[in-house]
Amino acid sequence: MAEELLRIRGGSTLHGEVPVQGAKNSALPLMAAALMCSGETVLHRVPRLTDIRTAGRILEGLGCACRTEENTAVIRQHGLSGSEIPDAEMRRMRSSIMFLGPLLGSAQECILTMPGGCELGPRPIDLHLDAMRRLGAEISEQGGRICCRAKRLRGARITLPLPSVGATENVLTAAAVAEGETVLCNAAREPEICDLARFLNQCGARISGAGGGTVTVAGVGTLHGTEYTVMPDRIAAMTWLCAGAAAGGCVCVSGAVPQEMETALSVLEAAGCRLRIRDGRIELRRTGVLRGVRYIRTMPYPGFPTDDQAPVCAMLSAARGTTVMEETLFESRYKYVGELLRMGADIRISGRTAVITGVPALHGADVSAMDLRGGAALGIAAAAASGETLLRGLGHIDRGYEDFAGVFNSLGCETVRLPVFSASTEKTGCTA
Ligand code: UD1
């Protein structure tokens, strides 16, 4: 497919309502878990994303049938035919690691390579592998291929050294079909963990305590398919609210779960936005100036989400005053900052801290997304900036947002998706 970019004409206030898409970070582990379920699993509100297509291909490679139509994925499992995830798919997205627990649980084996995905600094999988060892897996590595085998998975007491979301999800899936009871301490408490536990329980698992630091899983041996609706995407919801806050106006997201976004929403309020929250609708109004927020620190849930870091920094880059942002989870999550500087932002990075000094205005520029949330951040800055921005690296944004351009247009920010070649032709006026 030809490389594409977004041409965003900024500077207008935003107005409108956006229905929130299904959560990528929940749909992916749910799809992986579906391979453990005999018969048919139907997932609704699955976002149409490249990562979802990658997960579908991995499922098919393992012998499942996976059909997606609009926002529904139907996965049929009548016996697996493989246990290896191709290196190309592993490199394409970090979430391919989510197949580890389900494959070990149902095929007694999983062969994989180091996962790729957004380059946010080193993203090891040691916690995933250690946890699988605790459940009885033997793990060997040869030439970059990691082979995990377990004739029988046995429940165990596992304490994670840090509350990794992915490692928690792999423990939940593998332990669901293990023999005996697993107690997972220092588990991640993200809402996506609760969504996975709810789904697995509907498939016959016996998981309790999800959403808290200690989760107990009573192994049940086998799981069956079910029909389930993926939770709404709290990160996408925050992205649209940040765009409204940055550009000004009134943006409403519907179908969200505001209780799962409290820390993020409190930052919007601290920045001077007015929020009205009712029945899953979050309405943000920003008429006055946006103010810097003294100090924000990313933390595991219920702290401020690392995935909201870039959108919020972009939003505050034209606020009045200074914001100090500390990123505690990932080392290289400020790659977008260099691009924001091209748009006139004043941001200094020192290690994991970014100091954002608000400028009176941003201006459009030719910029590139380096990762998913950094790309969304550039889109937010472009909506607030005067003039036109060409946003390249659209592939990153398509991994996590169903229709970024469509949402921006619906809010009144003129955004066009163009092949890279015709965009540069238009800009230079060169037709040769
Ligand atoms: C998930 C989300 C991602 C989000 C992140 C933190 C998905 C698909 N992705 O990623 O969007 O930014 O949670 O909320 O759900 N770590 C290790 N060893 C491991 C695993 C993790 O050291 O084996 C470290 C990581 O480098 C990072 C921290 O633990 O510093 C948290 O990572 P983790 O919670 O595992 O994030 P992901 O599950 O990869």
pLDDT in tens, 344-390: 999 999 999 999 999 999 999 999 999 999 999 999 999 999 999 99
Range of weakest confidence among 140-144, 220-224, 259-263, 266-270 = 140-144
Ligand 1 centroid to residue 329 C-alpha, Å = 8
Are 346 and 368 in contact by the 8 Å Cβ rule? The answer is no
Residues touching ligand 1 (Cβ under 6 Å) are: 25, 28, 94-95, 123-128, 162, 164-167, 188, 192, 306-307, 329-330
Output the average pLDDT for the chain.
Answer: 94
What's the rounded mean pLDDT across residues 163-182?
Answer: 98
Q: Which residues contact 142 (CB under 8 A, 6 or more apart)?
A: none
What is the total count of domains within the chain?
2
pLDDT at 156 over 90: yes
In a domain, 105, yes or no: yes
Question: pTM to 2 decimals?
Answer: 0.95
Closest CA to 311 of 238, 247, 244: 238
pLDDT at 421: 76
Torsion of CA 93, 255, 73, 150, to 10 degrees: 50
Residue nearest to atom 25 of ligand 1 (CA): 123
Closest atom of ligand 1 relative to the 130 alpha carbon: 23
pLDDT band at 121 (very low <50, low <70, confident <90, very high): low
DSSP, res 113:
-
Task: Give the model's confidence band at 429: pLDDT under 50 very low, under 70 low, under 90 confident, else very high.
Answer: very low
Report if residue 256 sits inside a domain.
Answer: no
Shared-domain flag, residues 225 and 345: no
Over residues 300-326, the pLDDT tens digits come to 999 999 999 999 999 999 999 999 999
Same domain, 9 and 28: no
For residue 45, give both structure tokens: 């509100």
- The answer to whether residues 165 and 72 belong to one domain is yes
SS3 content of the chain, % helix, strand, coil (to 5): 35, 30, 35
Tell whether 243 is covered by a domain.
Answer: no
**Checking DSSP bridges between strand 415-419 and strand 14-19, what pairing results, if any?**
unpaired
In terms of domains, do 222 and 356 share one?
no
E-state strands within 144-226: 145-149, 157-159, 181-185, 206-208, 215-218, 223-224
Q: Are residues 212 and 307 in the same domain?
A: no
**CATH number for 412:** 3.65.10.10
Interhelix angle 100-107/24-34, nearest 10 degrees: 10
Instruction: Domain of residue 326: give its range.
Output: 4-14+291-428
| In a shared domain, residues 135 and 218 | yes
Same domain for 133 and 210, yes or no, is: yes
**Among candidates 89, 86, 116, 95, which has minimal Cα distance to 31?**
95
Ligand 1 atom at minimum distance from 235 CA: 11
Pocket test for ligand 1, best of 165, 193, 194 (most atoms within 8 A of CB): 165
